[in-house]
Amino acid sequence: MQDTSRLAGVIAPVLTPFAEDGSPDGERFVEHCQWLLDEGCTALAPFGTTSEGPSLGLDERMELLEELIDAGVAPSQLMPGTGTSSLSDTIELTAHAVEVGCGGVLVLPPYFFKDPSEEGLFRYYSELIEEVGDHRLRLYLYHIPQMSAVPVTRNLVDRLRSAYPDEIAGLKDSSGNMAGTLDLMDSFPDLAIFPASEAVLLEGLKHGAAGCISATANVQPRAIRALYEAAEGPEADALQFRVAAVRAAILKAPTIPGIKALISHARSDPQWRVVRPPLVALDEAEEMRLVAALKSDCEFALRIE
């Protein structure tokens, strides 16, 4: 299953911590990344949706990425989000990620203009690949229509894969439509396809998924990794049931502020609550409900007391 040129396994779309003044906190970012890898993540996807990636500036993304690599994280384990609504900014971020040796990049479609044609999206990704012009590029398409409002269709995947078989490495499917995800896996067995939830990891792996890239891997990386490793063993179903229950409990609150509140609570670090506008932090009652749910009902990778 492990193709050396493809990322696989349990990938966390890493939260981005901010200082109270709203600037990214490189130190806490590196710490959290190292904790995720220690806990069993096989790779990291910084600057995705859960990372508030589209709220970060171009310079901020490049600086955080370099800090992470300087701190000793292997760039081959990194799949930063480099997609913006602008082709030129996306080229800049993608070229930078390839230059510093990232194992892949996760690229949103351009998400400002609505209802773009398939041809327009094909040209967008084509120009990106050709302008970056580096055989080391491994591009993962990012299908998250509820947020981007611009779907990455099966036909678009097919055209891109045929035109750029080396560069188009895979796809993250955050649509929540597992039937569609399974269809993509059946149709493109040579692509590394990741559902965005550990709640369907077992089902995905049976159909050839490369793993999962899940927001809640920021909270329960060890449990998801155990499930990934035990997928063909006798305990798989029980582990699957447990990680799905934890995930469901976490997602009762708004995803990003909720996960940040949990990290804040587990580490006794109020600063972890800070989100960047347009998001807002949970209020105290929401936070207490979330913490209580995770204390009473679930086993949990982070120690919530």
Residues lying near a second copy in the complex (CB under 8 A): 22, 54-60, 84-89, 92, 109-114, 116-117, 119-121, 123-124, 127, 146-150, 276-280
Q: Which is nearer to a second copy, 148 or 197 (CB)?
A: 148
Cβ–Cβ < 8 Å for 161, 127: no
CB of 20 to a second copy, least distance (A): 12
Amino acid symbol at 48: G
Minimum CB distance to a second copy, residue 66 (Å)? 17
Nearer to a second copy, 115 or 232 (CB): 115
Q: How far is the CB of 228 from a second copy (least distance, A)?
A: 29
Type of residue at 168: I
Please compute, for residue 168, the number of CA atoms within 13 A of its CA located in the half-sphere on the CB side. Answer: 20
Quick one: tokens of 297? Answer: 């009902």
Instruction: Give the residue among 125, 114, 182 at the shortest CA–CA distance from 151.
Output: 114
Asked whether 124 and 162 are in contact (CB, 8 A), the reply is no
Q: How far is the CB of 17 from a second copy (least distance, A)?
A: 15
Output 39 or 52, the one with its CB closest to a second copy: 52
> What are the tokens at 83?
């997609």
CA angle 153, 211, 229 (to 5 degrees): 165
Q: How far is the CB of 107 from a second copy (least distance, A)?
A: 13
> What is the layout of strands, in order, in the sheet containing 139-143?
105-107, 139-143, 168-173, 192-195
Q: Cβ closer to a second copy: 53 or 204?
A: 53
Indicate the burial class of 283 (C-beta count within 10 angstroms; 0-12, 13-18, 19 or more). exposed
Nearer to a second copy, 72 or 278 (CB): 278
Could you tell me the CA-to-CA distances from 260 to 129, 139, 221 in Å, in that order? 34, 28, 15
CB of 195 to a second copy, least distance (A): 21
Which CB, 75 or 254, lies closer to a second copy? 254
Angle at 230 between CA 104 and CA 197, to 5 degrees: 50
| Beta-carbon-side half-sphere exposure of residue 152 (alpha carbons within 13 Å) | 27
Helix axes 255-266, 236-250, angle to 10 degrees: 100
CB of 216 to a second copy, least distance (A): 18
If the CB atoms of residues 184 and 275 are measured against a second copy, the closer one turns out to be 275
